[in-house]
Amino acid sequence: MTTYGFHSSHEQIHPAELLKAVTRAEQAGFGAAMSSDHFSPWSERQGQSGFAWSWLGAALQATELPFGVVNAPGQRYHPAIIAQAIGTLGAMFPGRFWAALGSGEASNEHITGDRWPRKELRMARLRECVGVIRAMLAGEEVSHDGLVTVDRARLWTRPDVPPKLVGAAVSVETARWCAEWADGLITVNGSLEKLREVVGAYRDAGGKGKAALQVHLSWAENDEEAMAIAHDQWRSNVFSPPVSWDLETAELFDVTSAGVSPSQVAEVVNVSSDLGWHAARLNEYAELGFEEIYLHHVGQEQSAYIDAFGAKVLPQLR
């Protein structure tokens, strides 16, 4: 059976309101949750960006849900600090926390003032960070000199069983690379053909663990409102790499996306007022082999969506 979770979008929703939303989602029948981890939103219209790691401790305490977070160690975050954060949450909430690791975006990482590396260097840096984090979660004292530097770092508080480190991938190539080191895979919604290729590349390369999917969707009482919500909140997120990797500020995303049409947004967001239509799409994703699917309603108002999907969509899902 596929687990259907609630995506907690820090770049759109104040953390206090987001905590209310995830507790409401648990009550409505969502079986898990995951969190974004941004320093900056994708648009000034989104207007938030709380610190995910502070929030995760509160959310894990306030619910009984398993939680994950997508994180980019290596520039904004030193890998030893991420190992400590993962280890502490894993020790406090055994078996309920995982972290997906990716190479990041300039919009979050440029704040250090360091040069934003080329993609191949970011991938190599991430691979070094994964090795550091795994070794520290295993109880080793780590020193490392490379694209990241670590000096005699050791975790004094860590869980008996290390949380899973999941690979975050959008492309077939990255999914295949993640199979070398990851305990699972997470990607974002696209065409069924593209998703089949991404999951297949991970599995064919020996990738283990669960495959998870984050689904961007927009629902309202009528199609026009659902489309207006998606276009307002998510038109800055329609761009393929390298644009999405390399733009540095919310203002730049807003300028770049000024001419994006509603039909372009509908290519990356499932937009409909029909709850049965949404259920059918989610079942199609599950049939591709995704064991966990995290639903992200791209609107800033979450309550009506949570209630409607809890009552009418989750019961239709396989």
pLDDT average per 10 residues of sequence, the chain (318 residues): 97 98 98 97 97 98 98 98 98 98 97 97 98 98 98 98 97 96 97 97 97 98 98 96 95 97 97 98 97 98 98 95
Q: d(Cα 244, Cα 233) in Å, to the nearest integer?
A: 15
Positive or negative torsion for Cα 2, 300, 40, 89 = negative
What domains lie within the chain, and their CATH numbers?
3-316 (3.20.20.30)
Per the listing, tokens 């297949």 go with: 200
Rounded to whole angstroms, the Cα distance separating 51 from 14 reads 10
CA–CA distance from 312 to each of 172, 272, 278, 307, 316 (Å)? Answer: 34, 14, 10, 8, 7
CB 63 within 8 A of CB 38: no
Cβ proximity of 230 and 296 under 8 Å? no
DSSP state at residue 66: -
pLDDT of residue 318: 79
Say how far apart CA 249 and CA 244 lie, in whole Å.
11
Q: What is the pLDDT of residue 118?
A: 96
**Residue 178 to residue 186: CA distance in whole angstroms:** 10
Greatest CA span in the chain, whole angstroms? Answer: 58
Length of the chain: 318
- Residue 187 to residue 197: CA distance in whole angstroms: 12
Amino acid at site 126: L
Asked whether 185 and 178 are in contact (CB, 8 A), the reply is yes
DSSP alpha helices (H): ranges in the chain?
15-28, 52-62, 79-92, 106-109, 119-137, 172-178, 192-204, 223-234, 243-246, 250-256, 262-265, 275-287, 303-308
Gap between the Cα atoms of 315 and 312, Å rounded: 6
DSSP conformational letter for 76: T
Using CA atoms, how far residue 132 sits from 142, 145, 148, 215, in Å, is 7, 11, 9, 31
- CA neighbor of 3 nearest in space, from 199, 207, 257, 285: 285
